[in-house]
Amino acid sequence: MTAVRPYIEFAKVAFSREATYRFEVFTSIGSLLVRVYLFRMVWTALYFHNAGIRALTLQEAITYSTVALLMSLVMDIDQTRLLVSKLEDGSIATDFMKPIVVPLYFFSDGTGEVVFHAATIVPSLLLALLIVHIQVPSPVVLVVFFLSFALGYFVGLLMNFVLNCIAFWTLEIQAMQLIVTWITDLLGGEVIPLVFFPPVLQSFIYILPFAAMYSTPLLIYVGVITPDEYLRVLLLQAMWIVIFAIAAVFMWRFGSRRVVVQGG
């Protein structure tokens, strides 16, 4: 317990830091509600003028977009971005001299942010229910959805960590992060359900890590992924966690050896 206490304190500090910016929180919730309403209007208009859409019903599409927006409150947080800022100002050198595991420090700091933003999901969900009626699946499906959500979260966390470790060699990765964000938005299924893509592309996109983050839990929620497919898709998500975890270990091990202190 003593070994993990510093990291719990780091998370508490990050939680308190995020809670300081209350106006930003209210703005974020308000922005999410506006997007929920706009997505409802867009999907309604699209289905009204395209009766041939069969991949999802109108209600499933609205539910999909609403749950995706709620998930984004947690999924869009880059828990390890502190690594890049510390590399840029050189303060990471002092972190290496502290009696802590530096990557766990970054994860703890980010966890405090995630826990705080996860707490905002409850009021956001209640307000969203007042705007649109979303489907609620059976308890069994909800359990599998949250399990898949957790696996997708760790896929995103480790992928961001690997990406941020590139800053050991380049210092600046903003352009690369933008590219990855655009690809994730397109191929992750957050904005456009992947079932709307051509069948030829779907078989390729579903095996990519981007789909493991958003699309898999969302398609479980709306019932497109059926119970007999649960084990296969969950194992695919777990596979990406293992791959990115191995990559993260190597990137950190070799990248941290490049840190040098210049000047006094």
Q: Confidence band (pLDDT; 50, 70, 90) for 261?
A: low
Using the predicted structure, report yes or no on whether residue 115 has a pLDDT greater than 50. Answer: yes
pLDDT value, residue 249: 92
Q: What percent of the chain has pLDDT over 70?
A: 94
Q: What mean pLDDT comes out for the span 144-169?
A: 90
If you average pLDDT over residues 117-137, what whole number do you get? 77
C-alpha closest to that of 131 among 70, 194, 55: 70
Q: Which of 24-33, 48-57, 178-187 has the highest mean pLDDT?
A: 178-187
pLDDT higher at 42 or 53? 42
Instruction: Check whether 1 has a pLDDT greater than 70.
Output: no
Query: Between residues 129 and 41, which one has the greater pLDDT?
Result: 41
pLDDT over threshold 70, residue 53 = no
CA atoms within 13 A on the CB side of 259: 21
Indicate if the pLDDT at residue 264 is higher than 50.
no
Does residue 262 register a pLDDT over 60?
Answer: no
**Mean model confidence pLDDT for the chain:** 83
pTM: 0.85
